[in-house]
Chains A and B, each alone.
Chain A
Amino acid sequence: MNATLRHAAWVLRGNPVTLLAGLGTFVLLLLALIGPALLAYDPVASNVPMALQPPSAAHWFGTDQLGRDVFSRVIAATRLDLAIAASAVALSFAFGAMIGAFCGYIGGRLDRWVGRFVDVLMAFPLFVLAMALVAALGNRVENIIYATAIINLPFYIRFARAEVNVRRNLGWVEAARCSGHGPVGVVMRFLLPNILPAMAVQVSLNLGWAILNAAGLSFLGLGVRPPTPEWGIMVAEGARFITSGKWWLVVCPGAALMFAVLCFNLLGDGLRDILDPRLRT
């Protein structure tokens, strides 16, 4: 463990961007946890006399059409957006890694059937599929999570399957069989722990994408409903005022969204470097 930390520190020293991304992610998590408690304004309380004020010392990001403080809303939205993305990615990771690992190890008919299912799933435009799922399941936050999880599932299945496939005939897998492990034991105790580092990279890259996806669905009016603060809705609502020069309504939540996606993607790239065994000498 100590060696892993030292290695991470060594990679980070040569890679300040990852360090920045890590810091950004940390700030995002912090905001998600304690941000709402620190706010000066109630993110959902309207104050119509103060509507559509440009950014000022009192309202750093200005106010929206109902006079709500945009800064407070952007911060308050962090928790919901991160929670949606994290639960969706956790779901697809847990199921996808497991299904993919078993397909890769056992092969045969299971692999063929799951493979075709994944192909079918990927043949749909994924965002449209997510919209259809939310529309069919009902317009609720959980359903955004399920829809995002389902459209991410194929990537995890394929990734885990490929990672397991290159390892399934290695000596230590055969040794595990000689030591009396059946397929379940081999996959759960041997293969999954070994593909975990590679999957962690995928998870981090995928988080950014899941945030975009959740925001995209809310932008279209699916899932999260007003007045709940959420970056996608805020962009959607602000879009009506952009022609009249009220840029802060769109730019501020948009920038927060971009910041989050960027942080997770850069962190994913950095994780790949940290976990790359070729750099471990």
Chain B
Amino acid sequence: MSGLLSVADLHVSFTTRHGTVPALRGVSLSLAAGETLGLVGESGSGKSVTALAVMRLLDRAAQVTGGRITFRGEDITQAGRGIMQPLRGAAMSMIFQNPRAALNPIRPVGLQIADVLRAHRALSAAGARDQALDLLRAVRIREPERRLGAYPHELSGGMCQRVMIAMAISCEPALLIADEPTTGLDVTTQKAVMDLLGEIIAGRGMALLLITHDLGLAAQQCDRIAVMERGEVVEEAPPAALFGAPRHPYTRRLVAASPTPRSEVHTLIGLTPPLAVLAPPPGPPLLEVEGLGKRFGPGTPAVDDVSFRIAPGESLGLVGESGSGKSTIARLVCRLLDPSAGQIRFSGEAIDAFPAARFHGHPRRRDIQLVFQDPGDSLNPRFSACQSIADPLRKLLGLSDPAELRRRATFLAERCGLEGSLLDRFPHQLSGGQRARVGIARAIACEPKLLVLDEPTAALDVSVQAVILNLLDRLRRDTGLGFLFVSHDLNVVRMMCERTVVLQAGRVVETGPSARLFSAPTAPYTAALLAAIPHFNPPAALTPAARA
């Protein structure tokens, strides 16, 4: 069979000062015209390097050390710019992860599309503009005439990605490479963008190489899926076979670790069900939020009339898309921001009147702690892990004896599954999962009563996420901590929380027990959110619950 693209035994290594590091170790793929191949794997598995190698866009530090890349029967493994320039954009094109960063911020998007067209075809400015307009219509941007002159910052993330798609398909390439095209977009936007992409490649007979970490997304879009681990393709199969009966142990682990509408926290890492949550002691609610509002300058408020309560030891989920105000609520509850309206009561005590700027000295400071989204920027780059964990002990408990601090930090780190030998490392010497553990150890250092978790696993690979979620779940069972769990991932919230609040544009849309809310949502918005989650288990995707 004469495929469109074939990659045979491709080896790529990077030259660093510590020697050569292999990135791809014998990758073989083939893609026929009009076919969709998914490339899944965790960060560092070599997905993007494969795509960049095909486009011949690899960094100067990278060398192809072996193998062949054949495109339309022509060997392009070592092709120079003269061969690649006419191919890129015209015969093969690429959609990048962060569309806003991939567009030129100071040029109207219409002109950017026209630039691509005019680079490959002899077109007048007016002709290119007309075609750009047609393309914007094809990617279903509303008011395309007006958007032609828009700058990227005037468009939403989803619209920017549509523009990127318009640019990528402008010259009708035979091969489209999409590198995490919807990572960072909301689920509903992701669904719209992926539906559009699927329609376009089907309508125009393009082949798609879809790179993603999201198994569900790959399952819904691809004819075949290749799983990559550490620079190798470990398994390749159609989605039904791959997810129905994964053969390679890594695939099995990956499938198990990906949250689905039916998974439980412990099944993600293949454990037996843990003990039930301790019955919350009777007494006043741990946290009561009433009519909370926050306004940043004029215009619509970021948070508007939000009320909820958390019982001691309870876990409450806060879900919503970007701009729903969930992170703002987390910061209001943590008293890092002052509310514009409403009350926050902690164990019956009103804490909203105390200004956030001076809350660091409030006796309740140690009771409410925050775990951050990006473990990369939540640790002081100049503190070792031990210093980071010991910092709240020093400030909030007034401990100063170095040996005692060290002993406590070691204990906390071990409790969070971080080896004591890693305590002297600095954040850049730790992996994402290890950094997340340091962040959690720091947050529980002073034995808070409420832990606010702001997308604690959003930046982590699924297998790491599975372990961290289990860690958090166990901590809660052991200590009776209350959780305010902020996330955009509905499957994660369903597993972690007893009750869930759904937010849209700063307002509460629906509140209820997670089990009920996810099986029979009452608000149309909740139903739309649930329907937009990509599932990799075809039968699960067809159950009434997920389609409601």
How close is A103's CB to chain B, nearest CB, in angstroms?
15
Among the listed stretches B236-244, B360-368, B530-538, which one makes contact with chain A, having 4 or more residues with CB under 8 Å of it? B360-368
Contact present for B396 and A179 (CB under 8 Å): yes
Asked whether A185 is an interface residue with its Cβ less than 8 Å from the other chain, the reply is yes
Asked whether A245 is an interface residue with its Cβ less than 8 Å from the other chain, the reply is no
Q: How far is the CA of A10 from the CA of B388 in the complex (A)?
A: 29
Contact present for B17 and A180 (CB under 8 Å): no
Among the listed stretches A17-25, A167-175, A198-206, A266-274, which one makes contact with chain B, having 4 or more residues with CB under 8 Å of it? A167-175
Contact present for A180 and B378 (CB under 8 Å): no
Contact present for B374 and A178 (CB under 8 Å): no
Asked whether A8 is an interface residue with its Cβ less than 8 Å from the other chain, the reply is no
Asked whether B380 is an interface residue with its Cβ less than 8 Å from the other chain, the reply is yes
Contact present for B372 and A174 (CB under 8 Å): yes
Asked whether A117 is an interface residue with its Cβ less than 8 Å from the other chain, the reply is no
Given A171-B373, A177-B336; A182-B380 close (CB under 8 Å): no
Given A10-B17, A174-B372; A179-B442 close (CB under 8 Å): yes
Which A residue's beta carbon lies closest to that of B356?
A: A177
- Which of A159-190 touch B at CB < 8 Å? 170-172, 174-183, 185, 190
Q: How far is the CA of A183 from the CA of B336 in the complex (A)?
A: 12
Asked whether B377 is an interface residue with its Cβ less than 8 Å from the other chain, the reply is yes
Asked whether B382 is an interface residue with its Cβ less than 8 Å from the other chain, the reply is yes
Asked whether B334 is an interface residue with its Cβ less than 8 Å from the other chain, the reply is yes
Contact present for A175 and B370 (CB under 8 Å): yes
Asked whether B369 is an interface residue with its Cβ less than 8 Å from the other chain, the reply is yes
Asked whether A193 is an interface residue with its Cβ less than 8 Å from the other chain, the reply is yes
Contact present for A177 and B360 (CB under 8 Å): yes
Which A residue's beta carbon lies closest to that of B357?
A: A183
Given A178-B392, A180-B361; A172-B370 close (CB under 8 Å): no
Which A residue's beta carbon lies closest to that of B395?
A: A180
Choice from A170, A174, A180, A190 contacting B396 with Cβ under 8 Å: A180
How close is B435's CB to chain A, nearest CB, in angstroms?
10
Q: How far is the CA of A194 from the CA of B391 in the complex (A)?
A: 16
Asked whether B124 is an interface residue with its Cβ less than 8 Å from the other chain, the reply is no
Contact present for A175 and B395 (CB under 8 Å): no
Contact present for B395 and A172 (CB under 8 Å): no
Given A171-B373, A183-B357; A178-B381 close (CB under 8 Å): no
Inter-chain contacts of A170 with B (CB < 8 A): 377-378
Contact present for B360 and A180 (CB under 8 Å): yes
Asked whether B379 is an interface residue with its Cβ less than 8 Å from the other chain, the reply is yes
Choice from B357, B358, B377, B395 contacting A179 with Cβ under 8 Å: B395
How close is B178's CB to chain A, nearest CB, in angstroms?
26
Inter-chain contacts of A174 with B (CB < 8 A): 331, 334, 336, 370, 372, 378
Inter-chain contacts of A56 with B (CB < 8 A): none
Asked whether A243 is an interface residue with its Cβ less than 8 Å from the other chain, the reply is no
Contact present for B361 and A178 (CB under 8 Å): no
Inter-chain contacts of A185 with B (CB < 8 A): 395
Q: How far is the CA of A268 from the CA of B256 in the complex (A)?
A: 52
Choice from A178, A194, A280, A281 contacting B380 with Cβ under 8 Å: A194
The number of chain B residues with a CB under 8 A from chain A is 33
Asked whether B543 is an interface residue with its Cβ less than 8 Å from the other chain, the reply is no
Q: How far is the CA of A10 from the CA of B366 in the complex (A)?
A: 44
Contact present for B380 and A181 (CB under 8 Å): no
Q: How far is the CA of A137 from the CA of B374 in the complex (A)?
A: 52
Which B residue's beta carbon lies closest to that of A6?
A: B17
Please indicate which of the listed interface residues B359, B360, B372, B374 has the most CB atoms of chain A within 10 Å of its own CB: B360
Contact present for B380 and A176 (CB under 8 Å): yes
Asked whether B272 is an interface residue with its Cβ less than 8 Å from the other chain, the reply is no
Please indicate which of the listed interface residues A171, A183, A194 has the most CB atoms of chain B within 10 Å of its own CB: A171
Which B residue's beta carbon lies closest to that of A277?
A: B428
Contact present for A193 and B336 (CB under 8 Å): no
Asked whether B16 is an interface residue with its Cβ less than 8 Å from the other chain, the reply is yes
How close is A162's CB to chain B, nearest CB, in angstroms?
18
Q: How far is the CA of A190 from the CA of B388 in the complex (A)?
A: 11
Contact present for B373 and A180 (CB under 8 Å): no
Contact present for B365 and A178 (CB under 8 Å): yes
How close is A227's CB to chain B, nearest CB, in angstroms?
48
Given A174-B336, A281-B16; A179-B392 close (CB under 8 Å): yes
- Which of B385-425 touch A at CB < 8 Å? 388, 391-392, 395-396
Mark interface residues in B70-111 (1 if CB within 8 Å of A CB, else 0): 000000000000000000000000000000000000000000
Given A183-B357, A193-B382; A175-B442 close (CB under 8 Å): yes
How close is B209's CB to chain A, nearest CB, in angstroms?
27
Inter-chain contacts of B359 with A (CB < 8 A): 177
How close is B167's CB to chain A, nearest CB, in angstroms?
27
Please indicate which of the listed interface residues B366, B373, B377, B379 has the most CB atoms of chain A within 10 Å of its own CB: B377
Q: How far is the CA of A180 from the CA of B358 in the complex (A)?
A: 9
Contact present for B366 and A180 (CB under 8 Å): yes
Contact present for B372 and A171 (CB under 8 Å): yes
Please indicate which of the listed interface residues A10, A182, A183 has the most CB atoms of chain B within 10 Å of its own CB: A182
Q: How far is the CA of A16 from the CA of B462 in the complex (A)?
A: 45
Residues of A near any B CB (own CB < 8 A): 10, 170-172, 174-183, 185, 190, 193-194, 280-281
A-B contact pairs, 24 of them (CB 8 A): A170-B378, A171-B377, A171-B379, A172-B379, A174-B334, A174-B370, A174-B378, A175-B442, A176-B380, A176-B391, A177-B359, A178-B368, A178-B369, A179-B396, A180-B361, A180-B365, A180-B366, A180-B395, A181-B395, A182-B361, A185-B395, A190-B380, A193-B382, A194-B382
Residues of B near any A CB (own CB < 8 A): 16-17, 331, 334, 336, 357-361, 365-366, 368-370, 372-374, 377-382, 388, 391-392, 395-396, 428, 439, 442-443
